[in-house]
Structure 1
């Protein structure tokens, strides 16, 4: 009735401080162009609680550039990972910094992470809901982690889980070969790419 009599006030539109940027189709031709982030959780049988692993992967060389392991996983941890990854890859000296791609998890839509992306001058893009294929590389890594590490271990303590998972991350980066990387590990591939010892390729995402 109020609507028919035109007595309702216009509904206030909520203004977002950090507008959502949808993931674009891209062609990646070198490391440090596109990084993907996501969260994986595991279970500590001996303590009956979960732990979280938040990982950041370089889409081109498949290296886990940085990660957070803990009993909580928040936006501030995503911001810390991003800062460390940019420092490790010496991206603070570059004008074109990696695009950061995530899903719409609470860590990635938080003010802490969005403000970190803005402060570090990186573009943050989010995939549409129910499209994990848009984040395929980090999803693939977490699938490998599940099969090769988490399913093979029944953790009795947080310390044990931390030691085994972090050791696996070292193995993954330094020794585990990838068919898509000319049967090299991510670290070996990165060195070969920098020395122009391999034929470059294009990753379409």
Structure 2
């Protein structure tokens, strides 16, 4: 029989003589958990006592610490010989571990390229302009999205604060206004390196709405020349001509100017038409298309 199953006599009788513990019954390797740690003086300290000390540390001023710093606190305050792995294991059994921090996604920075623009909705520029409210002695923000080709301010945010979430909200609104929300054609959005544009909220919005985001190099406002030119017009024709008493007045005056700028103000580069008049003339083939190099 041993010859049929391919087992030698020596192995058979050896296993029969010495009962070998099945591998599945073993604990899985390594020494058993002792259930205690030792102090610097050699005294054993039970895991239950260590768990109580951990609870006291967490409920005290060291409650902001993670398991690594709690290990240091046990070593310094209670003179324990203990490593961070055991502290982690005890905290896990007590369900007292801090939740893991969410890993921050690093979006690669894409520098602005030289481009030739031949139609609307190919390149949009975004930037922020500050205005002053003399009556309240504080500033307000105007965040605009401008089409490089037809010079229209597609959408904007006016407020006493301006964060990445406000910039992110402008992307779907501008796409909707240009009837691109359900289109596969998406513009490139060019910005500077302001905190609103390097924020996670703005980058996630660009990815969600499949718009390419590029940033100009530092100290190169000429790369955002078209929206800088709009800000110059806004400063000369609106902000410097008005001394605002309160935020409500500033909001009203600036929004009225933006309507004038888009609908009626003539641009020499647009055949002396306003941005809206120019777009209609292009669609009706009443004017000759041109190219814009940026």
TM-score (norm 1): 0.92
Kindly indicate whether the alpha-carbon contact (under 8 Å) linking 2:121 and 2:186 is maintained by their aligned counterparts in 1. Answer: yes
The one of 17, 24, 27 equivalent to 2:116 is: 27
Q: Which runs of structure 2 are paired with 1:39-50 in the superposition (5 Å)?
A: 39-50=128-139
CA deviations 1:99-130 (Å, max 9, x no partner) are 00000000000000000000000000000000
Tell me which residue corresponds to 2:24: none
Q: Which runs of structure 2 are paired with 1:9-24 in the superposition (5 Å)?
A: 17-24=106-113
Q: Show structure 1 runs of 4+ deviating over 4 A.
A: none
Shift of 1:93: 2.7
Aligned residues: 192
For 1:126 and 1:33, locate their aligned partners in 2 and report how far apart those are by CA, in whole Å: 16
Tell me which residue corresponds to 2:205: 116
CA deviations 1:43-80 (Å, max 9, x no partner) are 10001110000011000000000000000001111111
Unaligned runs of 5+ in 1: 1-14
The one of 144, 149, 159 equivalent to 1:55 is: 144
Q: Is the helix fraction higher in 1 or 2?
A: 2
Shift of 1:196: 1.4
For 1:27 and 1:161, locate their aligned partners in 2 and report how far apart those are by CA, in whole Å: 36
Tell me which residue corresponds to 2:270: 181
Name the stretch that deviates more: 193-202 or 56-65.
193-202
The one of 190, 195, 214 equivalent to 1:106 is: 195
For 1:87 and 1:164, locate their aligned partners in 2 and report how far apart those are by CA, in whole Å: 25
Kindly indicate whether the alpha-carbon contact (under 8 Å) linking 2:172 and 2:181 is maintained by their aligned counterparts in 1. Answer: no
Q: Does 1:155 align with 2:244?
A: yes
The one of 140, 146, 150 equivalent to 2:235 is: 146
Aligned alpha-carbon RMSD (Å): 1.2
Q: Does 1:64 align with 2:153?
A: yes
Tell me which residue corresponds to 1:85: 174
For 1:178 and 1:28, locate their aligned partners in 2 and report how far apart those are by CA, in whole Å: 18
Q: Does 1:167 align with 2:256?
A: yes
For 1:132 and 1:76, locate their aligned partners in 2 and report how far apart those are by CA, in whole Å: 23
Kindly indicate whether the alpha-carbon contact (under 8 Å) linking 2:167 and 2:196 is maintained by their aligned counterparts in 1. Answer: yes
Shift of 1:194: 1.2
The one of 73, 84, 95 equivalent to 2:184 is: 95
Tell me which residue corresponds to 2:81: none
Q: Report SS of the residue matched to 1:92.
A: coil
TM-score (norm 2): 0.64
